[in-house]
Amino acid sequence: MPKILLIEDDQSLRDGLQLALEHQGHRVHAAASGHAGLTALRTTRTDLVVLDLMLPDTDGFEICRRIRASWPVPVIMLTARGDDSDIVRGLDAGADDYVVKPVRGRVLDARIRAVLRGQDPSPATTATEIYEELTVDRSGLSVTKNGHPVALTPLELRLLLHLSADPGHVFARQELLETVWGHDPSADVRLVDSGIARLRTKIEDDPASARYIQTARGFGYRFGPL
Mean pLDDT by 10 residues, the chain (226 residues): 92 92 93 94 93 89 92 89 78 89 87 75 60 87 92 90 90 88 76 93 93 92 84
Class of domain 128-223: mainly alpha
The helix/strand/coil state of 67 is: helix
What are 157's strand-pairing partners?
none
Give the ranges where the chain is alpha helix by DSSP (H). 11-23, 34-43, 60-70, 84-93, 105-116, 154-164, 173-179, 190-203
Residues of the chain with CATH 3.40.50.2300: 3-116
pLDDT for res 42: 93
Q: Where are the alpha helices (DSSP H) in 71-165?
A: 84-93, 105-116, 154-164
75-79/48-52 β-pairing: parallel
* pLDDT value, residue 122: 46
Contact 143, 120 (CB under 8 A): no
Q: Given this model, what pLDDT does residue 218 score?
A: 86
Q: Are 40 and 31 in contact (CB under 8 A)?
A: yes
- pLDDT at residue 186, rounded to an integer: 67
pTM over the 0.85 mark: no
Helices (H) and strands (E) in the chain, counts: 8, 12
So what's the pLDDT on residue 195?
A: 92
Kindly state which CATH superfamily the domain 3-116 is placed in. Response regulator (3.40.50.2300)
Give the per-residue pLDDT at 123: 45
- Nearest CA among 204, 108, 197 for reference residue 159: 197
pLDDT of residue 59: 86
Tell me where in the chain the CATH 1.10.10.10 domain(s) lie: 128-223
